[in-house]
Amino acid sequence: MNRWDGKTKGSLTGYKIFLFFINSLGLDFAYLLLRIVTFYYFLFAARPKRALLDFYQKTLRISGAKAKKLIRRNFYIFGQTLVDRAAFLLGKDEKYSHTFQNEQYLIDMRDGGKGGILLSAHLGNWETAGNLLKGRITPTINIVMLDAEVENIKKYMDLSTGGSRFKVIAIKNDLSHIIAIRNALVNNEFVAIHSDRYMEGAKFMELDFFGQKAKFPYGPFLIASKFDAPVTFVFAAKNGKYSYHLSATLPITTKMKPEEIAQLYVAELEKKVREYPEQWFNYFNFFQ
């Protein structure tokens, strides 16, 4: 896979199995089963493994043996994030805890009354972090996403768990998502957008990322620059079996160009990738 295709991978059978085990035998057993499943992927998922190996060795300068060990850990933690997501949807979230670095920034944004734009990335698990935050800082978090999940899996998850606890703003060709974002901000709600992947054919900008040119989507940074709402970069990485570390940057409250916001975002993303290389969940050639 050379580019991301906008779809969440996975089989309907796999989702059914893990939902069953979480419900019937608990999270510890589901995590144990993950070790077997993710080792299988480590052995046979050649393309994502090759993409990660290339990223670890050529970009992060991690040696061969250590890089391969990191790939195994990456697959396992990614599996954990999917189990964690399902656990929250099933209401089995009593085991989870979190720490939040700079939580006050989000509280200040909420108290400012203009809502807030939260730019994140496919690093860690923002959805579970949002579940941890929901009701603590804000009653409503909107996630802007491509509604391109495999349809039968999405339907099964909705029927089995009652669906997401978030409001989803689907990106559409008619640009109705822009109106939905505006309405959310007017209502003093937070809007979260992943800003590290672009779809083929969409507008992008090339930025220096770890000393190489990489393409980032233009849309999230354009949105961040156009609305009269503070902008912060948020990340949520697993730092324990059932715990997460959340962080937010000092909000941008002045008008900036999309390119300027993107430069700041990429600098912060580099820091987080260095801190949590095992939680870089982009399984394609990021620099091609």
Look up residue 105 and give its two tokens. 């920034």
Q: Is residue 222 part of a domain?
A: yes
Confidence check: pLDDT of 149 > 60: no
Length of the chain, in residues: 288
Q: Is residue 4 part of a domain?
A: no
Q: Is residue 27 part of a domain?
A: yes
Other beta carbons within 10 Å of 6:
16
Query: Using CA atoms, how far apart are residues 69 and 152, in angstroms rounded to an integer?
Result: 33
Q: Is residue 139 part of a domain?
A: yes
Q: Is residue 284 part of a domain?
A: no
Q: Is residue 250 part of a domain?
A: yes
Decide: 107 and 132 in contact? Cβ < 8 Å. no
Query: Using CA atoms, how far apart are residues 239 and 263, in angstroms rounded to an integer?
Result: 27
Coil, helix or strand at residue 206: strand
pLDDT number for residue 91: 82
Coil, helix or strand at residue 168: strand
Query: Using CA atoms, how far apart are residues 99 and 243, in angstroms rounded to an integer?
Result: 8
**How many structural domains compose the chain?**
1
Decide: 265 and 223 in contact? Cβ < 8 Å. no
Q: Is residue 153 part of a domain?
A: yes
pLDDT number for residue 188: 94
- Lowest mean pLDDT: which of 19-28, 64-73, 155-164? 155-164
Q: What range defines the domain where residue 21 resides? A: 12-279
Confidence check: pLDDT of 161 > 80: no
* 144 φ/ψ angles, rounded to the nearest 5 degrees: -90, 120
When pLDDT is averaged across residues 15-20 and rounded to a whole number, the result is: 78
| Average pLDDT taken over every residue of the chain | 87
Quick: pLDDT tens for 212-269. Answer: 999 999 999 999 999 999 999 999 999 999 999 999 999 999 999 999 999 999 999 9
Q: What is the pTM of this model?
A: 0.89
When pLDDT is averaged across residues 82-96 and rounded to a whole number, the result is: 85
Q: Is residue 6 part of a domain?
A: no
- Lowest mean pLDDT: which of 54-63, 144-153, 179-188, 202-211? 144-153
pLDDT confidence tier of residue 155, bands split at 50, 70 and 90: low
pLDDT number for residue 112: 95
pLDDT number for residue 261: 98
pLDDT confidence tier of residue 4, bands split at 50, 70 and 90: very low
Q: What is the full DSSP assignment across 210-259?
A: TTEEEEEESHHHHHHHHSSS-EEEEEEEEEETTEEEEEEPPPB-S---HH
Confidence check: pLDDT of 76 > 70: yes
